[in-house]
């Protein structure tokens, strides 16, 4: 059943808010190109949310929260191949590499909801930042599904 597992080839949407609650933008414009910043993937629970395109009829407006917001896409396999999120000991030696996965986490109001989660759980927010950097990099390798309103 498609709802029980996120396949490697699944397209995922992430809403890129025009402005966060503190007024900062989660993207930047350089030389006419719009880039996602790492702040676009911040999440208080350290598990960024995405929507599974297959469950929202491949319509990125499903993920868009307001007209001003943009939407980027990622491929689940690219996320699972992330190997740069590393836990180090106090002396800076590598202990292990976190396994990053995309897990279905449907909500009552959003059956397409999924989360990007590590195994094991992060020990600190500084390690989570490495994931944010990689997610922004992956998003910037793809075309925007919906550009932020000021760049359309």
What share of the chain has pLDDT > 70, as a percent?
98
Contact 81, 15 (CB under 8 A): no
**Spatial distance between the Cα atoms of 100 and 130, rounded to a whole number of angstroms:** 11
Q: How far is CA 146 from CA 99, 141, 149, in A?
A: 29, 15, 8
Mean pLDDT of all residues belonging to the chain: 95
pLDDT digits (tens, 9 = 90+) for 21-55: 888 889 999 999 999 999 999 999 999 999 999 99
Average pLDDT over residues 100-110: 98
Strands of 4-69 (E only): list them: 11-16, 27-30, 33-36, 49-52
**Spatial distance between the Cα atoms of 137 and 141, rounded to a whole number of angstroms:** 6
pLDDT band at 107 (very low <50, low <70, confident <90, very high): very high
pLDDT at 13 over 60: yes
pLDDT at 81 over 80: yes
pTM for this structure?
Answer: 0.94
Contact 101, 11 (CB under 8 A): no
54 Rama class: left (phi>0) / alpha (psi -120 to 50) / beta: alpha
């Amino acid at each position: 059943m498609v709802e029980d597992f996120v396949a490697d080839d699944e397209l995922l949407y992430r809403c890129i808010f025009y402005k966060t609650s503190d007024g900062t933008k989660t993207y930047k414009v350089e030389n006419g190109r719009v880039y996602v910043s790492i702040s676009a993937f911040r999440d208080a629970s350290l598990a960024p949310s995405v929507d599974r395109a297959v469950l929202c009829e491949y319509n990125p407006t499903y993920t868009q929260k307001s007209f001003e917001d943009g939407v980027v896409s990622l491929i689940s396999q690219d996320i699972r191949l992330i190997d740069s999120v590393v836990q180090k000991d106090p002396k800076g030696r590598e202990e292990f590499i976190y396994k990053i996965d995309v897990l279905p986490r449907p909500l009552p109001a959003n059956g397409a909801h999924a989360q990007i989660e590590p195994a094991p759980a992060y020990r600190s927010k500084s390690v989570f930042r490495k994931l944010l950097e990689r997610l922004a990099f992956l998003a910037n390798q793809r075309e925007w599904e919906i550009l932020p309103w000021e760049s359309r």
